[in-house]
Amino acid sequence: TGEDAEAAHPVGRDIVSGEWKTAACWHNCGGRCLNKVLVQDGVVVRQKTDDSHADSFDCPQQRGCLRGRSLRQQVYNADRIKYPMKRKHWEPLTGGDKSLRGKDEWERISWDEALDLCASEIKRIYETYGPTCTISFISMGGSIQNVLNLMGGYVEINDTISCGTWQADTSWWGLPFYGNYMGDDPQDWVYADYFVLASSDPVFTANASGAYLTAAKEAGAKFVYVGPCYNQGATQLEARWIPVRPGTDTAFWNGVAYEMVKLDESAGDVIDWEFLAKYTKGFTMDNMPDDAKLQECYQGYLLGEYDDTPKTAAWASLICGAPEQDIKDMAAIMSKQNNVILATGTAAARCTGVENYPQVIYTIGLMGGHMGKQGNAVFYNLTAMNYVTKAYTGARGRAASSIQNPLKFEAEPGVNLAGIPSVGRNLIAAPLHWRNMLEGKYTSYGAHSQQESPNPYNSGVEHDINVKFIWNGCRNFLSMSIDLFNAVKVYRNCEFVLTNAVYASTVARFSDIVLPVPSKWEGSFDHAEYAWPSGTVNRYYGVDFVSANYPVCEPMWECHSDDWISREIGARLGFDPDEIVATDAIQSYFNCMAGGVATDEDGTEHTLLTITQDTIDRHGVELEPQEGEVDFEEFVEHGGYQYPRSKDDAYAKRYCYQDFIDDPAANPLPSASGLWEIYSQLKADNFNTPDFVDPETPMKPYPNYYEPTIGYEKTVSDWDKQIKGDYPYQFFT
């Protein structure tokens, strides 16, 4: 209420005294930077970022960006959901006036009424329609998923919202499982002559990399940014901007590859031919993989030997919009004579028709030999997500149970059209899912996620779907997916829509019952509340820094955690709550903390945290005391643990893919040949299996450019005359 806000933040309030605590940042940009908050009587009154030590190259501050430093405004925002609420014109059994979803009024109800209504509606809908009636939009599974799986399962969405084509199995052409996260040590960046940022903004995302990028700039590295708009990162680093139209990056880089070939012919020493011969397959016809089905190589494609269209700078410029000279200049930059770090973000792989973007980025780097040596690297998601930290928590994993979805697998795994065994996963594919839900049918093509390997596509299995129930778990799919007019129709066709949410998001407004959950700043010492920030820290976050998530205040208003809600609803459905969430949140947190690992310069791993009996007793957890590198209380007070570094220390001597470069036979890559495959038959066979690609123009095993179904070319009515069509604009975000 307004009175609550006034009491918590009276005019003239003292905002100087209090206790400074470390607060989590939940913006999933890849940074996980350090935020500090000043707490008075359980209320955060100020924020700041890392000032625990002097900023230096060896130990840079983990500074948060403006987005992270505005979290207080989010936590205490008027849009916070404070109480369980029911849509005024919703009725059990029928859904009431469904047309009012998204614009109805709300009524406050008690937790008991809300939980009873949720359980009775879930039970009724499953008994009436079966599990194919249910869709759940949740992030990374969890207790909500367990409830639905105990009910018989639900139809899972197979989307590439986060990483686009990077979520395909890049091991087909040589990157290790999740190998696209393998980046160079940021301490090595000072040795780069050029730092190329493709579709990347390191100031707006992963802000903690700024110190290393600034150091590289001061050491003389020249920065180049390739993307549709001149962004904040490019501005701060004074990068040369090469503009490309949205979704045309593959054409741009193919043009660069062609000009590298031509520049090598005329000037020499541009392409690292020895590197290509030793570590790759498929650039030339005399170095093809054994399983190749086509008598085609990448160089032949670039020269136009198969389609009479050389991929010249002029050809690429017409498609991507970059000036021809910029494309030729990039070819010179990527020469083997330069030390080049090529770092791409994920956005360029999130467009229609960019399935070959990850392969072409690595191919450009391979042509110049920019892998496994000082001052050279190719990776995606510029630190921190690409970077393996020297310490991490979560080695023992979260102890909550995970129940398999009965609908996720077909009865029998099959063989796809390429003759490859199919894992038979039953998933509805985005972005067709809204349309499919309205049509009542969808075709499952299997999985495309590096979280599950192997993941070859299948040739398509048709299923019926009749969506009557949606359960949203803090994931706003009505703002982060396309085809939203059909999405609204799907929501308004349902008999029941339930949302657990922190804020009054779009999915919350289109729901029937909304249940308030705490933010990641809030946590309860009461084990029965199951409310505590997660202790699992992905080891790919942070630059020599592992963060400590710890609550700064109790859950506010009437908020309860997702785990508590799932247990309560599950109990009303007749399930054992401990089967839904096996271990309470505080115990899970300390299980992860106790499994924290620190790494010495010689690669030896040892215990990260000292956890005393006093800490164990204060939190009421079952754990043995242990000795580690840093005390847990100090770890939490500081907000994490940071390794001191120095240029050329032992950590920096293991550059990206160094073991493979040193001995490729003893350390093969996961491709069929054990090398990087510029020609990958497995990639082509899998990508051409689903009914996504025109069979008249199948995708090539090498990273060719092909005209997307919806892309820049569709804005032009006459390509030869370059006459714009009726819809001349592209939208990107």
422-453 pLDDT, tens per residue? 666 778 888 889 999 999 998 887 766 545 55
State residue 60's pLDDT score: 80
The span from the CA of 680 to the CA of 288, in Å, is 10
| Per-residue pLDDT band at 399 (split at 50, 70, 90) | very low
Residue 556, pLDDT above cutoff 80: yes
Residue 537, pLDDT above cutoff 60: no
In tens, the pLDDT along 51-77 reads 888 888 778 888 888 888 888 888 998
Residue 688: φ, ψ to 5°? -90, -5
Stretch 304-312: mean pLDDT: 97
Cβ contact 682:172 at 8 Å: yes
Residue 226: φ, ψ to 5°? -115, 115
In tens, the pLDDT along 245-264 reads 999 999 999 999 999 999 99
Percent of the chain with pLDDT over 70: 86
* Nearest residue to 533 via CA among 388, 640, 623: 640
The span from the CA of 202 to the CA of 190, in Å, is 16
State residue 137's pLDDT score: 79
State residue 206's pLDDT score: 65
- 641 versus 537: the higher-pLDDT residue is 641
Find all residues with CB under 8 Å of 559, minimum gap 6, and list them.
81, 82, 516, 517, 518, 522, 531
The span from the CA of 148 to the CA of 132, in Å, is 11
Report if pTM > 0.85: yes
Per DSSP bridges, beta strands 134-138 and 469-473 are parallel
User: What's the chain's average pLDDT?
Assistant: 85
- 237 versus 167: the higher-pLDDT residue is 237
Residue 427, by phi and psi: left (phi above 0), alpha (psi -120 to 50) or beta?
beta
Give the residue carrying structure tokens 């708009």: 229
State residue 6's pLDDT score: 47
| Per-residue pLDDT band at 168 (split at 50, 70, 90) | confident
Q: Which helix (DSSP H) or strand (DSSP E) does residue 274 occupy?
A: helix 273-279
Residue 1, pLDDT above cutoff 50: no
**Paired residues of 39 in beta bridges:** 19, 44
| Per-residue pLDDT band at 164 (split at 50, 70, 90) | confident
State residue 191's pLDDT score: 92
CA distances from 331 to 252, 255, 263, 314, 334 (A): 11, 9, 8, 14, 5
Residue 603, by phi and psi: left (phi above 0), alpha (psi -120 to 50) or beta?
left
700, 702, 704, 707 alpha-carbon torsion, rounded to 10°: 30
CA distances from 410 to 136, 458, 492 (A): 19, 11, 30
State residue 414's pLDDT score: 61
The span from the CA of 2 to the CA of 328, in Å, is 61
Q: How many CB atoms lie within 10 A of CB 628?
A: 20
- 661 versus 731: the higher-pLDDT residue is 661
In tens, the pLDDT along 594-652 reads 888 887 877 788 888 999 999 999 999 999 999 998 999 998 888 888 877 777 777 76
Cβ contact 82:62 at 8 Å: no
Per DSSP bridges, beta strands 377-380 and 340-344 are parallel
Query: SS3 for 421?
Result: strand
State residue 185's pLDDT score: 76
Write the DSSP assignment of 623-661 as a string of letters: ---B--SEEHHHHHHHTEEE----TT-GGGGS-TTHHHH
Tokens at 187, concatenated: 């301490």
| Per-residue pLDDT band at 398 (split at 50, 70, 90) | very low
* Nearest residue to 500 via CA among 520, 518, 488: 518
* Nearest residue to 458 via CA among 496, 425, 500: 425
Stretch 575-583: mean pLDDT: 90
The span from the CA of 231 to the CA of 229, in Å, is 6
In tens, the pLDDT along 672-717 reads 999 999 999 988 988 887 666 677 788 899 999 988 888 899 999 9
Cβ contact 386:181 at 8 Å: yes
Is the backbone peptide bond immediately before 431 cis, with ω within 30 degrees of 0? yes
Stretch 172-200: mean pLDDT: 79
Cβ contact 20:639 at 8 Å: no
Residue 385, pLDDT above cutoff 50: no
Stretch 306-314: mean pLDDT: 97
In tens, the pLDDT along 269-284 reads 999 999 999 999 999 9
Cβ contact 660:676 at 8 Å: no
State residue 704's pLDDT score: 95
Find all residues with CB under 8 Å of 674, minimum gap 6, and list them.
664, 665, 668
Cβ contact 212:55 at 8 Å: no
State residue 509's pLDDT score: 93
Is the backbone peptide bond immediately before 454 cis, with ω within 30 degrees of 0? yes
CA atoms within 13 A on the CB side of 121: 25
Cβ contact 661:668 at 8 Å: no
What is the SS3 assignment for 306-344? Answer: CCCCCCCHHHHHHHHCCCHHHHHHHHHHCCCCCCEEEEE
Tokens at 589, concatenated: 């947190």
- The per-type count for the chain, helices as H runs and strands as E runs, is 22, 29
How many residues are listed for the chain in this entry? 733
Tokens at 257, concatenated: 């590859």
- Residue 130 CB-density burial (10 A; 0-12 exposed, 13-18 middle, 19+ buried): middle
**Which amino acid, residue 120?**
S
Percent of the chain with pLDDT over 90: 46
State residue 611's pLDDT score: 95
